[in-house]
């Protein structure tokens, strides 16, 4: 929001506080790291993107919003990547 949409940093911080208050924080395990490596190889993702994907899969998410990954891509037949900045997502 800060860089792409030029939202003032104090407002971004307030939004982050709201998100943190309403979400679960996930600690990654060694198994998560290894699975992320497999996901990266299978789906041609960067390691850090695959770590995000793996964490989402571990939490049984069905949608992952990202502007950096391929819009519409389905990972492991479960997780759909959606770019919220593309019309008609």
CB of 81 closer than 8 Å to CB of 71? yes
Contacts of 76 (CB under 8 A, 6+ apart): 39, 57
pLDDT band with cut points at 50, 70 and 90 for residue 87: low
What predicted TM-score, i.e. pTM, was given to this entire model? 0.74
Q: What is the reported pLDDT for 74? A: 96
Report helix angle 47-58 to 30-43, nearest 10. 120
At 10-55, the pLDDT tens digits run 999 999 999 999 988 778 899 999 999 999 999 999 999 999 999 9
**Does position 65 have pLDDT exceeding 60, yes or no?**
yes
User: Locate tokens 């990547």: which residue?
Assistant: 81
pLDDT band at 8 (very low <50, low <70, confident <90, very high): very high
């Amino acid at each position: 929001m800060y860089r792409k949409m030029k939202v003032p940093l104090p407002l971004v911080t307030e939004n982050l506080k709201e998100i943190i208050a309403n979400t679960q924080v996930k600690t990654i395990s060694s198994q998560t790291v290894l699975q992320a490596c497999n996901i990266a190889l299978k789906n041609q993702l960067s390691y850090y993107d695959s770590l995000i994907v793996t964490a989402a899969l571990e939490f049984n998410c069905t949608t992952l919003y990202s502007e950096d990954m391929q819009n519409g891509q389905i990972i492991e037949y479960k997780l759909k990547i959606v770019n919220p900045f593309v019309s008609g997502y």
